[in-house]
A = this chain, B = another copy of it.
Amino acid sequence: MPAVRGRLTSKVIRIFVTGGRFDKQYNELAGMLTFEDTHVPEMLRLGRSRVEVSITTLMMIDSLEMSGEDRGLVVERCRGADERRILVTHGTDTMIETARALAEALPTIGEKTIVLTGAMVPYAFGSSDGLFNLGSALSFVQVLPAGVYVAMNGRCFEWNRVRKNGATGIFDEIP
């Protein structure tokens, strides 16, 4: 962890958007849930965030639809990023799989802090956890040492010490 001096010395934080419920929205003509542009910039404005970020949308899909190739792209982009601290928004269903892929590639990715987060209810809906999770993950990524983490439900876990409880949707520590 960087020494805490004044403001936590975090240069630009990279944000890679991959979709998931976090960014799903309702298309009123089709009458279905779809993806359009990411809401992350709008959410950061709402939070009056002044963290310097660079946002890139890699894809906008359900994590259940993610292929090995898609995960490979996330790994590749994390490797190629200049930033040392990276936040990845991701569907909750296979978030841990992508975390694993990143952890396995960490030797080639380098000394980077990568935090994955998502939402149980799309930000576009009234009762979303999205804004809370974004504030949470953006904070963890600024202070944690290099490694791959999952941040959900206000908590943060090393990638290999967490699983998603299928019945409740909650992310818990593997005992």
Which one of A47, A168, A170 has the greatest number of beta carbons of chain B within 10 Å? A47
| Residue interface mask A117-144, B partner, CB < 8 A = 1 | 0001110111111011111111110111
| A4, B173: Cα distance in complex, Å | 12
> Are B143 and A140 touching (Cβ within 8 A)?
yes
Q: How large is the interface on A (under 10, 10 to 19, 20 to 34, 35 or more residues)?
A: 35 or more
A135 to chain B, nearest CB (A): 3
Which residues of B are found within 8 Å of A131, using beta-carbon distances? 47, 131-132, 135
A31, A129, A155, A172: most-surrounded residue (chain B CB, <10 A): A31
CB distance from A130 to the nearest CB of B (A): 9
Give A98-131 interface residues, CB cut-off 8 Å to B: 120-122, 124-129, 131
Find out whether the CB atom of B121 lies under 8 angstroms from the CB atom of A155. no
- Chain B hits for A133, CB < 8 A: 47, 135
Task: Give 10 closest A-B pairs by Cβ, nearest first.
Answer: A47-B132, A135-B135, A6-B161, A49-B154, A135-B136, A132-B135, A139-B139, A50-B153, A7-B173, A51-B154
Could you list some 26 contacts between A and B, CB below 8 A? Answer: A4-B144, A5-B161, A6-B161, A6-B162, A7-B173, A26-B121, A26-B122, A26-B127, A43-B132, A46-B129, A47-B129, A47-B131, A47-B132, A47-B133, A48-B120, A48-B129, A49-B153, A124-B125, A124-B127, A125-B125, A132-B134, A135-B136, A135-B139, A140-B143, A142-B156, A143-B144
